[in-house]
Amino acid sequence: MRIIVSGGGTGGHIYPALATVQRLKALEPDTEVLYIGSERGLEGSIVPKAGFKFKSLKVQGFHRSLSLDNFKTIYLFLKATREAKKYLVAFKPDVVVGTGGYVSGPVLYAAQQMGIPTVIHEQNSVVGVTNKFLARKVTKVGVAFPAALPAFKANLATIVGNPRAQEVVDGQGSFDWEKLGLVPDKPSVLVFGGSQGAIKINASMVEALPNFADKPYQVIFVTGSKRFDDVQQEMRTKNIVPADNVAVVPYISNMPQLMPRVSLVVGRAGATSLAEQTALGKPMILIPSPYVTNDHQTKNARSLANAGAAEMITEESLSGTTLFGTIDQLMTDEKQRQLMAEAAMKMGVPDAADQFIALIKSVIK
């Protein structure tokens, strides 16, 4: 198979694409892959390090308000489409796959004009602008959340989950609890606000830290590398010393090894994180970011809360008191966590990469 994939800007678009082609290469080593990303996106550094051929296009997104810069956006889109056609002619793909982000627009639009089968993946409950545009002529759509299905024409979209989840489920290796000063045989809660950290989650956790002392569970508080020094300073200012059952760290590099071993996950409601946690059947406390497009994290979180897989705390109501109270209630109620885990597992797709690959193969002529 010869496949072009395109998705960029954020990890939420890049990692599902990489998970798909990495799994495809494992199943069919002769597969030829070309990744087309944007000049300024994270994919420019991530994809080549993963060992895939990479080409870039210059694109930018539309401003939601009236702006003369939108004329430049249109110009760049048309120019990128012409450039994408050159890559398509040279590579001769059997199929072109998009996982979102502005750059996938011209790539898949070019493929559609050339009669090449196209498949898009939508990671969120709310369909992104680019995928809405491409859906008019796309061959097939894979979605991670059932809530996204009504946005597409009947029989066009299929629930396949998020391919990134399969990497976590298949993750191998042990986790070194000693590095955290914790023990492996005690129930644990993981609190994190993403790789960069989340200011209000961090502030609420600092406020809550003294309450965790002597609890029958342990806490892993990941601040995000950018926020670690600020958290440490705030703890010093408030004379807070974490108890022996609490680890405060900037970052955990081997999260796929840790995630299966925790009893509760607290964090944002980004598509990739939710895919991983539902595939593993993890009870969740979700604090959706209000600063994302179309408030899609709130919709993601609500879909899990309605299914009984998560508790949701809005950023507006988040405080040390509400955060500690919700964590403590769940960490001292094993039966409730089990019910939430079962609900999460029903929403998860542990073989999502395989399901998405099957969908991709179904469109190849």
Q: Is 281 labelled as part of a ligand binding site?
A: no
Q: Where are the beta strands (DSSP E) in the chain?
A: 2-6, 32-38, 53-57, 95-98, 118-122, 140-143, 157-159, 188-192, 218-222, 246-249, 264-267, 284-286, 310-312
pLDDT at 68 over 80: no
The one-letter amino acid code at 243 reads: A
pLDDT at 65 over 60: no
Give bridge partners of residue 33 from the DSSP assignment. Answer: 3
Could you tell me which residues come within 8 angstroms of residue 295 by beta carbon, excluding any fewer than 6 positions away? 126, 288
Q: What average pLDDT does this structure show over 258-286?
A: 93
Query: How high is the pLDDT of residue 70?
Result: 66
What pLDDT band is residue 62 in, cutting at 50, 70 and 90? Answer: low
What pLDDT band is residue 97 in, cutting at 50, 70 and 90? Answer: very high
What pLDDT band is residue 60 in, cutting at 50, 70 and 90? Answer: confident
Query: How high is the pLDDT of residue 171?
Result: 66
Q: Is 101 labelled as part of a ligand binding site?
A: no
**Same domain? 148 vs 257:** no
Lowest mean pLDDT among 159-173, 221-235, 266-280, 324-338: 159-173
pLDDT at 54 over 70: yes
**Same domain? 256 vs 150:** no
d(CA 153, CA 149): 8
Could you tell me which residues come within 8 angstroms of residue 338 by beta carbon, excluding any fewer than 6 positions away? none
d(CA 83, CA 56): 10
Helix intervals (H) in 36-103:
43-49, 69-91
Q: Is 297 labelled as part of a ligand binding site?
A: yes
Percentage of the chain lying above the pLDDT 90 cut: 76
Query: How high is the pLDDT of residue 347?
Result: 87
Give bridge partners of residue 284 from the DSSP assignment. Answer: 265, 310
**Same domain? 183 vs 156:** no
Give the tens place of pLDDT for each residue, 1-40.
Answer: 999 999 988 888 999 999 999 999 999 999 999 999 998 8
CB 213 within 8 A of CB 245: yes
**Same domain? 6 vs 121:** yes
Query: How high is the pLDDT of residue 255?
Result: 84
**Same domain? 28 vs 146:** yes
**Same domain? 118 vs 146:** yes
pLDDT at 135 over 80: yes
What pLDDT band is residue 257 in, cutting at 50, 70 and 90? Answer: confident
CB 61 within 8 A of CB 97: no
Query: 168: burial class by Cβ within 10 Å (0-12, 13-18, 19+)?
Result: buried
Query: How high is the pLDDT of residue 125?
Result: 85
pLDDT at 151 over 60: yes
Domain at 63, CATH number: 3.40.50.2000
Gyration radius from the chain CA atoms? 21
How many structural domains does the chain have? 2
pLDDT at 221 over 90: yes
Q: What average pLDDT does this structure show over 335-356?
A: 94
Q: Is 223 labelled as part of a ligand binding site?
A: no
Q: What average pLDDT does this structure show over 155-177?
A: 86
pLDDT at 180 over 80: yes
Residue 34, both tokens? 């070309």
**Same domain? 338 vs 356:** no
Q: What average pLDDT does this structure show over 260-285?
A: 93
pLDDT at 63 over 70: no
How far, in Å, are 23, 73, 106 from residue 68 at the CA level? Answer: 42, 9, 20
Query: How high is the pLDDT of residue 164?
Result: 87
**Same domain? 125 vs 223:** no
Q: What average pLDDT does this structure show over 60-75?
A: 70
**Same domain? 227 vs 131:** no
**Same domain? 36 vs 118:** yes
Q: Is 252 labelled as part of a ligand binding site?
A: yes
d(CA 219, CA 187): 9
State the chain's mean pLDDT as an integer. 92
pLDDT at 64 over 80: no
Q: What average pLDDT does this structure show over 50-72?
A: 78
pLDDT at 269 over 80: yes
What are residue 88's phi and psi, to 5 degrees?
-65, -45
**Same domain? 212 vs 282:** yes
Query: CB 345: neighbour CB atoms within 10 A?
Result: 15
The residue segments making up the domain with residue 174 are 169-347
Q: What average pLDDT does this structure show over 281-296?
A: 90
Query: How high is the pLDDT of residue 172?
Result: 60
**Same domain? 144 vs 198:** no
Q: What average pLDDT does this structure show over 91-113?
A: 97
